[in-house]
A and B are shown apart, each in its own frame.
Chain A
Amino acid sequence: MVVFPGTNCEHDAVYALASVGVETELVWHRATDLSEFAGVVLPGGFAHGDYLRTGAIARFSPIMSEVERLARAGAPVLGICNGFQVLCETGLLPGVLLQNAGLRFICRPVHVRVTSTDSILTRAARVGQVLEIPLNSYEGNYTSDQASFAGMENSGQVVLKYSDPNGEVTELANPNGSLGNAAGIANGEGNVAGLMPHPERAIEKVLGSSDGRVLLESFAMSLSGARV
């Protein structure tokens, strides 16, 4: 679990992953050796204050070259919210995240439809499954060029899409203007994934929803034997 100065969802992510049996350790952004870990989570927050541009400074943190090494070696790497922004900024995931359409911060539960299970984030889910998970971001508006996005859709890299409660992917159900309602993206190999909603905030019914568990369980399944 990578902690940059300004990260703030790390304790929640540790708590949530523990509930699906994943042991985690907080690692400060100055670390340069992650060889004893089976996978990496970049949690939410405001790494380096999000100054300049979300993730723009974090990509130069010493730990990131080691995260890249693990990712290229096939280890599961998951970015949540700000972590997703950092992964896009480093080029481990395609595309970028812009300011929300409407230019306001959005913190509320949204629905997402699972559109591909070819990733460490969705392999335990089924296509068409609808999950209710909180969104909490100002720069959550995913975009890329149309051609690449079409390619990603064809190859199953767009793994979650904003939808209505019935799973219909409509413009009205798109909270932040993301291209093609994309809420979660994976790389071509499926071992690096990022999403804007916070699955760690949806693990207990008393907090509103436990739909995020299946995503964290997917990550947990992906860890077995993945030590690099």
Chain B
Amino acid sequence: MSEGTALHRALGMTDDEFEAVCRILDRRPRDAELAMYSVMWSEHCSYKSSRTHLKRFPTEAPWVVVGPGENAGVIDLGDGWLAAFRIESHNHPSFVEPYQGAATGVGGILRDVFTMGARPIAVWDQIRFGSLDDPHNRYLFAGVVAGIGGYGNAVGVPTVGGEVAFEDCYAGNPLVNVMALGILRQEQLVLAESGDEETEAVLLGAATGRDGIGGASVLASASFDDESVAKRPSVQVGDPFEEKKLIEACLELYERGLVVGIQDLGAGGLSCATSEPAAKAGMGMEVDLQKVHVREPDMTPAELLMSESQERMMAFVAPRDVGRVLAVAAKWEIEASRIGTVRRGGTLRVFEAGELVAEVPAASLSEDAPMYHRPLRRPDWLDDLWADRPIADEADVARALLKMLDDPSLADPAWVYEQYDHMLFLNTLIGPGHDGTLLRIKGTSKALAGTTDGNGRRCYLDPRRGAARLVYEAALNVAVTGAQPMAVVDNLNFGNPEKPEVMWQFAETVEGISAACENLGIPVVGGNVSFYNETDGIDIHPTPIVGLIGMADPCPERPPRLDGAASGMELWLLGPDVSEDLAGSAYQKIVGETIAGRPSEPDPEMAARVTGLATRLAADEITPVLHDLSEGGLAVALAKVSIVSRVGVTVDRPGHVFAEDPHRLIAAVGAERSDRMVAMADEAGVPVRRIGGFGGDQIRLGPAAVSLEEASRVWRTALPRRMG
């Protein structure tokens, strides 16, 4: 074996991929060139296993300004306002080093948003771990939460929502997905394009070091085993203070119109931030690595090109504006270096000390990346799982409910979100702990609603149905704030794509999300794929995370809240009759200690009706409480409302209180408004029936009763008790 082939394998490239590089260059690549291709063609950067499936997503709507492929999706909110948002995973780094892994996940997704010209205004985090009975999982959970808070709080962007879940399949491979949202005026929109010949490339922000070398290709694009912890040096280290200054500096550059285009340096580092913008503009570039400001001496060209040092941006600046850009950087106390110039001809030339170290077609790094049509196969074990009918054991509903309220996935998440600043900017009308978050846009009549949702168990049992139901659930979570769902971003967390069963799960998931989005008329405007979430050969459940943004205009003055119930209010159930769907439910897992059955199919027609009705009820402020039924079914939903509203509730004939059938809501409503609510439901074609009322100090579900005090204590202490 020659030295060249040894190097490409160490960098995670296959022999075929190495041959492809040789064909493109018509020679053997230099080390620095091989480094660039290895990063840019990694699974993480090139989406080589998923691209062929991702084409299925519906991506168009009249309000889409920028769809998938840029740093973030951008939608039009009217009156000159745009919203930019994106979701991304930092799963593997967070397992290796939970605090820094999660922190840099926040930093990276914020850069994706402010690269578009937007001021980041909110972050949602979706985190999943193994059981908290294991001290190592408690360490990971505490570290990830501290990392998200440590970075988000200091950088000055509130963390306004998210989800926490615990499942054994995440023990060796936690999931850390973060969605960020920003707003901007339409004239401030910037794209990642280099501009014409002679445009200068100015590298802004932190100095480049050896941290994070191979983060994307080494960590995020391969499976895990016992040696993974030795990869800790591949985890990037975050500096929220540097990022805060970088945000303010960039926003000033946009406001003054001083940049032609801009690209953040994330996975792929300088390789990506030079080649992609140049390729998009149909240009090439000359780069001088000696001009890069570095934090340590003697870095090789390959290291400089691959480094994933955080808090860096590449601005493309017309020659006449370079002085002004450097002055803005000096004011905000960040470093800036002119490192390159855009050239005609499409070739990227990289120099080090006058010596040519790389000369490649800029477009070949992104556009010629391999695309794999990996084999798909429906897993054989699904038949067994589906045949095994879930058993409903309702012998003691009260005891089951308390057990579920004590489950860390269903318990009060305050232990998590109280470690995050969720109030900064004074926009948070409805914050964490609710179905969806509602953020006003000051100076306008508008508010943005957002949510992120996942359900690995249901997607494991039926990825297509599970994924479609996630979109419907996310839409309902946004609708109950009074907002209209507008667009989706998704983070697709899967196992090893080289296994046909995993690729089948992936393809089914994409189909499920696509069909549901088409049905609701909402586009997918961006996303992220995370493969190789397996440890020692065991894959995680297929876990797509759906992030959904909607808008309320005008923003309701008193939108529904979970704590809006009061004694004397009526309790109503809206949505289809229950088929008693327990497959993959929280009840099945927590009380039955199994996962089996086939989840019921979503009803597209009913989903659209219920979502539309929820938006209207919330916008018209008919129901002080409007809450979608999800994990734990009617029982857990009612318990939460009861606990946070500090009032008991009685349901006369509840049916199966833990069933998780889709498209259902509960509403608390004053007697004087229930006629109006029923009329609106009739008009929308949504079944509605009164099932009980609020009052007293017990949660009564038919014959079962739990004292509100006990339910509250169990639910509120479940996380703190375990975490100390």
Contacts and interface: CB of A to CB of B under 8 A. Distances in A.
Given A12-B425, A201-B423, A207-B428, A108 B418 contact: yes
Nearest to B331: A28
Interface string B145-159: 010011001111000
Contact of B244 (A46, A106, A201): A46
B423 A6 contact: no
Interface stretch (A48-56, A72-80, A111-119, A157-165): A48-56
A9 B424 contact: yes
B239 A5 contact: no
A5 B332 contact: yes
Nearest to B428: A207
A106 B241 contact: no
Most A Cβ at <10 Å: residue of B156, B414, B442: B156
Given A5-B333, A6-B154, A49-B154, A206 B557 contact: yes
A105 B429 CA distance: 22
A20 B311 CA distance: 38
Interface in B418-462: 418-426, 428-429, 442
Interface in B325-341: 331-333
B245 interface: yes
Contacts of B174: none
Contact of A105 (B153, B333, B414, B423): B153
Given A6-B241, A11-B425, A105 B419 contact: yes
A15 B149 contact: no
Given A5-B244, A105-B420, A201 B426 contact: yes
Interface in B38-95: none
A46 B240 contact: yes
Contact of B156 (A45, A108, A138, A206): A45
A132 interface: no
Contacts of A206: 429, 557
A207 B426 contact: yes
B124 to A, nearest CB: 15
Contacts of B331: 28
Contacts of B156: 8-9, 45-46
Interface string A49-71: 11100000000000000000000
Interface in A105-149: 105-108, 134, 136, 138
A207 B333 contact: no
Interface string A193-222: 000001011011011000000000000000
Contact of A46 (B241, B418, B557): B241
Nearest to A50: B154
Most B Cβ at <10 Å: residue of A8, A12, A51: A8
B419 A104 contact: yes
B536 to A, nearest CB: 33
Nearest to A3: B248
Nearest to B432: A107
Interface string A10-31: 0110011000000000001000
B424 A8 contact: yes
Contacts of B245: 5-6
Nearest to A13: B426
B670 to A, nearest CB: 20
Contacts of B154: 6, 46, 49-50
Most A Cβ at <10 Å: residue of B333, B424, B425: B424
Interface residues of B, number: 31
Contacts of A107: 153, 417-423
A148 B668 CA distance: 54
B379 to A, nearest CB: 42
A149 B340 CA distance: 60
Contacts of A8: 155-156, 244, 424
Nearest to A48: B241
A9 B154 CA distance: 11
Most B Cβ at <10 Å: residue of A15, A45, A49, A204: A49
Contacts of A48: 241
Nearest to B420: A107
B149 A105 contact: yes
B458 to A, nearest CB: 32
Contacts of A50: 154, 241
Contacts of A28: 331
A12 B418 contact: no
A117 B417 CA distance: 34
A16 to B, nearest CB: 8
A201 B426 CA distance: 6
Interface in A182-200: 198, 200
B498 to A, nearest CB: 41
B239 A49 contact: yes
A8 B423 CA distance: 12
Contacts of B153: 46, 105, 107, 136, 138
Most B Cβ at <10 Å: residue of A9, A105, A198: A105
B424 A51 contact: no
B439 to A, nearest CB: 11
Nearest to A136: B421
Contacts of B155: 8
Given A5-B241, A6-B154, A8-B156, A200 B422 contact: no
Given A104-B419, A107-B418, A12 B424 contact: yes
27 contacts: A5-B333, A6-B241, A8-B244, A9-B156, A12-B426, A16-B426, A45-B156, A46-B153, A46-B156, A46-B244, A49-B241, A49-B244, A50-B154, A50-B241, A104-B146, A104-B419, A105-B146, A105-B150, A105-B153, A107-B420, A136-B153, A136-B421, A198-B423, A200-B426, A201-B426, A206-B557, A207-B428
Question: A-B pairs with the 7 shortest C-beta distances?
Answer: A49-B241, A8-B156, A46-B154, A105-B419, A108-B418, A105-B149, A107-B421
Given A15-B426, A15-B442, A105-B421, 13 more contacts: A8-B155, A12-B424, A50-B154, A50-B241, A51-B241, A105-B420, A136-B153, A136-B423, A136-B424, A204-B426, A207-B423, A207-B426, A207-B429
